[in-house]
Amino acid sequence: MSYINDALKKAQEEKDGRYRAYGHIISGPAGEKSGARRKRIVIGFTGILLLSIAVSSFYHLYVLKPAPVLKTAIPPKPAEPAQDIPELYRKALDLQKSGDLAGAEQLYCKILEANPNHANALNNIGVIYIMQNRKDDAARSFQRAIASKPDSADPYYNLACLHAGSKDIARSLDYLWKAVQLNPEIKKWAKEDRDLQILHASPEFKKLTE
């Protein structure tokens, strides 16, 4: 019996020795079960994965983040220098007297862009329109000059010339009368002005220019 027991004991010891030789593969530290080992492995792997995600997020958010674009203020457009209206008017008048009607008209238009109610520019450009046979434009320009400066005789006189050229004697005399009321010297001009020649034989004209 003791022989059999000894033999069984010896066989058990040999079996235990074979498993101990490969114990580092299937078990953890002494006394730890294999399930606990697997749990620790899973927890460790999960921690490494979370750490990797955190590092990757930090890298993309802060390392690879493009540098902010600094907004620079757009410098304001420099203001154009104010037009010298009196100087422009002087130049336009000189051009008109010299016969450069296109150049004078261009300068008068610049003046009227800056000041649409410039009575002298309106009157003078109206004269240019008469010479260009733009009678409707001339009439509107003279009317605007009168609205801007009602006490100026020149646009009334020019309207008298405009309507005399259209052989509208009644309207021509009416505007001439208004011009004479504002400036009596116009009587002399009217007698010598060939643009009003159609009126010279009219009794009303003779009475008006006495």
Q: Is the dihedral of CA 9, 13, 18, 19 positive or negative?
A: positive
CB 139 within 8 A of CB 123: no
Average pLDDT over residues 89-114: 96
Kindly report whether the global pTM for this prediction surpasses the value 0.85: no
Please list the alpha-helical segments (H only) found in the chain: 2-21, 23-26, 34-58, 85-98, 101-114, 119-131, 135-148, 154-165, 169-182, 186-192, 203-208
- Dump pLDDT digits (tens) for 180-196: 999 999 999 999 999 99
What whole-number distance in Å separates Cα of residue 169 and Cα of residue 202?
A: 9
Higher pLDDT, 129 or 39: 129
Tell me the longest C-alpha to C-alpha distance in the chain.
Answer: 175
106 pLDDT band, cuts 50/70/90, is very high
Tokens of 118: 């410039």
Per-residue pLDDT, 145: 97
Which residues does 95 contact at the CB level (< 8 Å), separation at least 6? 101, 103, 104, 107
Q: How far apart are the first and last CA of the chain?
A: 175
